[in-house]
Structure 1
Amino acid sequence: MTIGFVMLCHTALERASEVARHWAIRNCPVVIHVDRRVAVAKYDALVKSLADLENIRFSGRHACEWGTWGIVAATQEASMIMLQDFPTVRHVYLASGSCLPLRPVEELIAYLSERPRTNFIESVTTEDVGWTIGGLDLERFTLRFPFSWRKQRRLFDGYVRLQRRLGFRRQIPKGIMPHLGSQWWCLTRQTLSAILENPDRAEIDSYFSRVWIPDESYFQTMVRQVSDSVESRSLTLSKFDFQGKPHIFYDDHLQLLRRSDCFVARKIWPHADRLYQSFMGNEPGAQAIAEPNPGKIDRLFAKAVERRTKGRPGLYMQSRHPNENWENGRTAAPYSMFEGFSDLFENFEVWLGKATGTRVHGHIFAPDAVNFAGGEKIYNGAICNSTATRDYNPTSFLTNLIWNTRGERQCFQFGPQDNQTLIYFMAGDPNAQISIISGAWAIPMFHSNRNFSDIRREAARLQKIEAHFLNELRKPWVKARVRTWTLAEFVENPMEPLQNIVDEISPRAMRRLTEAPRLADLSGFGQFLQNLRNQGMQPALMGDFPTGDDPRPLHARRGRPYLVK
């Protein structure tokens, strides 16, 4: 007794010829089906290359479009030839032209000889299956599918929706309990012949010919009708990604395939010369005999799926970038955004850089310039200071900046005058530390030499922009670390909030600040705010500034203020 192989081929016929010869010269009959859509010249070349082997047959050709009945019809016809022409075959193994034997065929024969009545086919009920992609499980048995899912997708989806709306349901034949599973199986002669010689086969075939993806349900369902000895697993290693597409194995998967201990693997890249040379040359005893266990490598595939769907934090890649909220962290590392600090303090960027040991940028989203730290024109990752490039995709500009400077915390200034596109992105980013002194944007206007009517209009515009940003930061969906002070609150006691900010940026330093940045001159600022009120503009974000009095005592000597312990 031996094992026979049914091969379904549609591409890479040269590799299919190698595999078929590998099995045939080891006394395993092979019946090959070639997709009818394959060119006649290629088909004839395959037949000619195997003409010297007497235990190889070719079945009638069917068009095997994905998800259609042609695949099942091709399998049925090839299986009937196998059973009729090779009476010594006890098990029939279904494989594809892209399959590769991972272990010597003698080991497979010995393994099946110990289990002469066992059928190896994945077969689970529609309620239990968890891998169907596209939302169709039981419905694939109760709806009609006259349109191709791949070539006529809009018609396919529209017709499914129409049947659902009308409540249309096909009648499942009596005694049939739909099951699903992998297409690749290994069945005993008794089981396969019982399926193919079923007196009700014409009716059953007619029903399944209108089922969606029948190659995943026909034999999986019928095996339950004719056999009680079913192991619901495949001896073929076949892995699928989160979209339901098969993983392709390349040369660098050699050790991974060996660890699986499976007898056959699918789907192999046709140019994986190292894989074909390594496994096709195996002889009995080359590998330790072990139970097929693809679960040993499931953890690696799970990690691969997670990496593909989630990626690395802050790195946007082709598989995730078009899908909103698929990111594994919006940015790659923590960063700090300061609003109002450079308006209130002189040379705030220089002071913060010294206090924290980081490089602090200016207003990198300013409308007329990208103010990188130190006046750089090109920053890490070849990020240029072009406003046109930045404004083409501000989100990518920020995420690239954070990604390319991993290990060095980025700090930058922001304000209502800047491009506001990113306020929602930063508010929802857990890596963002947002510190705002509301109303500080009025200080440069106070020191400017502009007409007061222009100042009033500009102040009203900027206050509206900042008020909107502050309102968004109070919403429950915000994930950023947010601190806000009014200008009056901050001026009254600047050292405590500055200490908190520095501690969060560089927690390892753990040192008390002894030097504060120089405050801008606020003499007369309270009267400036009152003048805005008198002109009809209500400054609401600055806090309670007294009119006519300075917010803090001023001394004749305006040196650096020190904190005395």
Structure 2
Amino acid sequence: MSTVGFVMLCHTALDRAAQVARHWAEQDCPVVIHLDRRVDKASSEKLRSDLKDCGNIRFSKRHRCEWGTWSLVAASQTASEVMLAEFPDVRHIYLASGSCLPLRPVDELREYLKARPRTDFIESVTTQDVDWTVGGLNAERFQLRFPFSWKRNRLLFDRYVELQRRVGFTRKIPENLVPHLGSQWWCLTRQTLSAILQDPARKIHDAYFKRVWIPDESYYQTIARLYSTRIESRSLTLSKFDFQGKPHVFYDDHLHLLRRSDCFVARKAWPQADRLYETFLGPNHRESQMAEPAPGKIDRVFAKALERRTRGRAGLYMHSRFPRLDLENGKTCARYSVFQGFNDLFEDFEPWLSRRLGTRVHGSLFDPVRARFAGDADIYAGCLPATAALRDDNPEMFLTSLIWNTRGERQVFQFSPRDNQRICWFLSTDSNAQISVITGAWAVPLYLSNRDFSDIRKEAALMQKREVEFVNRLRNIGTRADVRVWSLAEFIEEPMENLQSILDAMDGPSAPRLTEAPRMANLDGFGQFLQNLKNQGMKPFVMGDFPATNVEMHQPTGGPRPYLVKK
């Protein structure tokens, strides 16, 4: 009655392997188990004892198996020979692992194969058609020799590959063989498999593939092309791999995905996924229709998971995935605005801007004393503290956390040469940052202060040096921020137009025209103040061409226009 037999390669989670083997055996499907020689004697004897009541289960000669080596092919050869010798009624042999999980009733698989008696299901494509290999060895796996284990002797493996490349060594491929690659989980007809194992040239083939890298992905895939009358280059086993070439593990919460795939077997299931095993191996698991296996149905989900793992979400940094510098999928998650010099030039600029934008506006978030959150809060969204020491331990993550914690609300804050300058590079390289700078505006508070002039001169020199460094960084070719820079003299020539351009960039072209303006600080005598700095040996140049006489504000002409009030 049986038309399909299963060859199982087992090395771990033997209780689950026994459960799956019994499931197939009780459905009149012979099973031959290869048990890795590295499995201890007690575990081996327990597996045999658990399955001794199943008359159609056999155990093959054991090999010490290791990933990427010939031992896996040898194990499948030995077990397949037992299957062919002891179960003559088997027409298809299905290779599986101990972590494989049947997804559909055996009767459906049996009927599916019975309708395709001459078809071999084995993914088999030439090296030119392969785009999934990881590690840079595609055609070279057939051209070079690989006597060293990639896992145990990585240094020898790499050095020997380099040596062969350097001397131009190339192996001779046996006659009539065209190297193919594909999934190692196949389902072959008895005729094809027996032809492979009984081939007079088998010794030549085996000797060649023993030095091929990962031969279990190429041995059957290549030689089957010599004998198969009909190959469908696909596997009936659902197996997904991540960007590193490691297999995805299926858990209980993948139940609906596995059902949607309509595949007959899935690899590999987590041994503790009780719900999966109870569902698919349970007596009540029956499918109502003969659907064609379609792993592509769930490819979109895995592609999305791969994108999340490799690219992440913009602006999200977390312990389980902390991206490398400059390889982030966006430094921050949303647009934000930085104003430098505006709260120095204008009185009550923050309340005015908050009313204009309809959102909260922060003060200097990187003030040396503390973070000046909107409303002078001590704790802000996401339990961000205003404490300078905690913020300055990692100012970049402080800012990204603030933007992430307030998604949906544009963050606006002030910046100054007086602040912690470590964040400058981050701001300039963030494409979400909109930075507006009035250079030299930091001198206005100094001018209005009641301090000794010698102290003012020293601080002015320091402020100008910091601002020049920041502006140079903003003008660097690597800057990604949206940057607008005016000198103080340039800005006060047309303050309303300049403010409007900033707000238009924030609100878009449909932004309404300004109907009120912030009050500008009193600049009477400011030009003479700058001249005094020059006379004392400090040359202030970032303010622009500022006259030594009183500043006359640009007056708009024609019709009612918004205006600035000068104190």
Same fold (TM over 0.5): yes
Contact (CA 8 Å) 2:3, 2:110: kept in 1 or not?
Answer: yes
CA separation of 1:30 and 1:553: change in aligned 2, threshold 3 A: closer
Map of 1:489 onto structure 2: 490
SS in 2 for 1:301: helix
Alignment of 1:452-463 (within 5 A): 452-463=453-464
Map of 1:33-182 to 2, 5 A cutoff? Answer: 33-182=34-183
1:204–1:464 Cα change, 3 Å: same
Report the CA distance shift for 1:115/1:382 in structure 2 as closer, same or farther (over 3 A): same
Q: Distance in 1 between matches of 2:564 and 2:446?
A: 30
TM-score, normalised relative to structure 2: 0.93
Match of 2:27 in 1: 26
Offset at residue 231 of structure 1 (A): 0.8
Tell me: CA distance 1:144–1:317, structure 2 relative to 1, closer, same or farther (3 Å): farther
Identity of aligned residues (%): 65
In the TM superposition, structure 1's runs of 4+ consecutive aligned residues that sit over 6 Å from their partners are none
Query: How much does 1:503 deviate?
Result: 4.0
CA RMSD of aligned residues (A): 2.2
Equivalent residues in 2 for 1:331-350, closer than 5 Å: 331-350=332-351
Deviations 1:160-192 (A, max 9, x none): 333323333333223322111101000011111
CA distance in 2, matches of 1:389, 1:175: 69
Whether 1:193 and 2:194 are equivalent positions in the alignment is yes
Q: CA deviation at 1:453?
A: 4.1
Alpha-carbon distance between aligned partners in 2 of 1:308 and 1:387, rounded to the nearest angstrom: 33
CA offset at residue 327 of structure 1? 2.5
Q: Which moved more, 1:177-186 or 1:134-143?
A: 134-143
- Does the 8 Å CA contact 1:309/1:320 hold for their aligned counterparts? no
**Is the CA contact (8 Å cut-off) linking 1:320 and 1:327 kept in structure 2?**
no
CA distance in 2, matches of 1:535, 1:480: 37
* AA in 2 matched with 1:344: L
Q: After superposition, what is the alpha-carbon deviation per residue over 1:353-408, rounded to whole angstroms, capped at 9, x for unaligned? A: 12212111111112332211112111111111222222222211111000001111
Match status 1:311 vs 2:312: yes
In structure 2, stretches of 5+ residues that fail to align are 556-561
Name stretches of at least 5 consecutive residues in structure 1 with no aligned partner: 555-560
**Whole-angstrom distance in 2 between the partners of 1:319 and 1:73:** 39
Please say if residues 522 and 551 of structure 1, whose CA atoms lie closer than 8 Å, have aligned partners that are also in contact: no
Q: Secondary structure at the match of 2:390?
A: helix
How far does the alpha carbon of each residue in 1:204-226 deviate from its partner, in whole angstroms, 9 at most, with x for none? 21221121111111111111122
C-alpha separation between the residues in 2 aligned to 1:277 and 1:289?
A: 22
Letter in 2 for 1:466: E
The DSSP-based 3-state class of the residue aligned with 1:422 is helix
Specify whether residues 167 and 295 from structure 1 end up closer, same or farther in structure 2 by C-alpha distance, changes over 3 A only: same
Q: CA deviation at 1:283?
A: 6.6
- Pairing 1:333-412 to 2, within 5 Å after superposition: 333-412=334-413
Whether the 8 Å contact between 2:335 and 2:433 is mirrored in structure 1 is yes
- CA change 1:336–1:49 in 2 (3 A) is same
Residue 454 of structure 1 deviates from its aligned partner by 4.2
Contact 2:317 2:323 in 1 (8 A): no
Give the Cα separation in 1 of the matches to 2:455 and 2:170. 71
Partner of 1:207: 208
Q: Is the 8 A contact 1:104 1:283 kept in 2?
A: no
- Distance in 1 of aligned mates of 2:158 and 2:380: 48
Residue equivalent to 1:329: 330
- Matched AA of 2:502: I
The Cα offsets for residues 290-338 of structure 1, whole Å up to 9 and x where unpaired, read as 1111111112211221222222222124564232333222211111101
2:461 counterpart SS class:
helix
The amino acid that maps onto 1:14 is: D
> Aligned partners of 2:467 and 2:439: how far apart in 1?
7
Instruction: Give 3-state SS (helix, strand or coil) of 1:484's partner.
Output: strand
CA contact (8 A) 1:514 1:563 kept: no
Distance 1:377 1:145 in 2: 62
Q: Is the 8 A contact 2:496 2:563 kept in 1?
A: no
Partner of 1:160, secondary structure, is: helix
Report the more deviating stretch, 45-54 or 483-492: 483-492
Is the alpha carbon distance of 1:437 and 1:250 closer, same or farther for their aligned partners in structure 2, counting shifts above 3 Å? same
Provide the C-alpha distance between the structure 2 equivalents of 1:390 and 1:439, rounded to a whole number of angstroms.
Answer: 27
For residues 310 and 437 of structure 1, the distance between their equivalents in structure 2, rounded to whole angstroms, comes to 36
Residue 315 to residue 3, structure 1, CA distance change in 2 (3 Å): same
CA distance in 1: counterparts of 2:146 and 2:418, whole angstroms: 57
Hey, what does 2:292 align to over in structure 1? 291
More moved, 365-374 vs 429-438: 365-374
Q: Which moved more, 1:224-233 or 1:145-154?
A: 145-154
Q: CA deviation at 1:73?
A: 0.9
Which residue in 2 is equivalent to 1:548? 549
Q: Deviations over 1:29-87 (max 9, x none)?
A: 00001112222211111110000011101112212211111111111100111111111
Supply the distance in 2 between the matched residues of 1:452 and 1:145 (Cα, whole angstroms): 77
Q: How many residues align?
A: 558
Q: Does structure 2 conserve the Cα–Cα contact (< 8 Å) formed by 1:394 and 1:422?
A: yes
In the superposition, relative to structure 1, how do residues 519 and 430 fare at CA in structure 2: closer, same or farther (>3 Å)? same
User: 3-state DSSP class of the match of 1:89?
Assistant: coil
- For 1:563 and 1:535, how far apart are their aligned partners in 2? 33
SS in 2 for 1:127: helix
Residue 266 (structure 1) shift: 0.8
The one-letter code of the counterpart of 1:422 is I
* Distance change in 2, residues 1:277/1:553 (3 Å): closer
CA distance in 1, matches of 2:71, 2:250: 26
CA pair 429-23 structure 1, distance change in 2 beyond 3 A:
same
Tell me the CA shift for residue 526 of structure 1: 0.9
Q: Which amino acid aligns with 2:282?
A: G
Q: Normalising by structure 1, what TM-score?
A: 0.93
Q: Contact 2:34/2:79 (CA < 8 Å) preserved in 1?
A: yes
In the aligned structure 2, how far is the partner of 1:258 from the partner of 1:219?
29
Partner of 1:528: 529
Distance 1:151 1:401, change over 3 A: farther
Quote the offset at 1:121 in angstroms. Answer: 0.3
Closer, same or farther: CA 257–63 of 1 in aligned 2, 3 Å: same
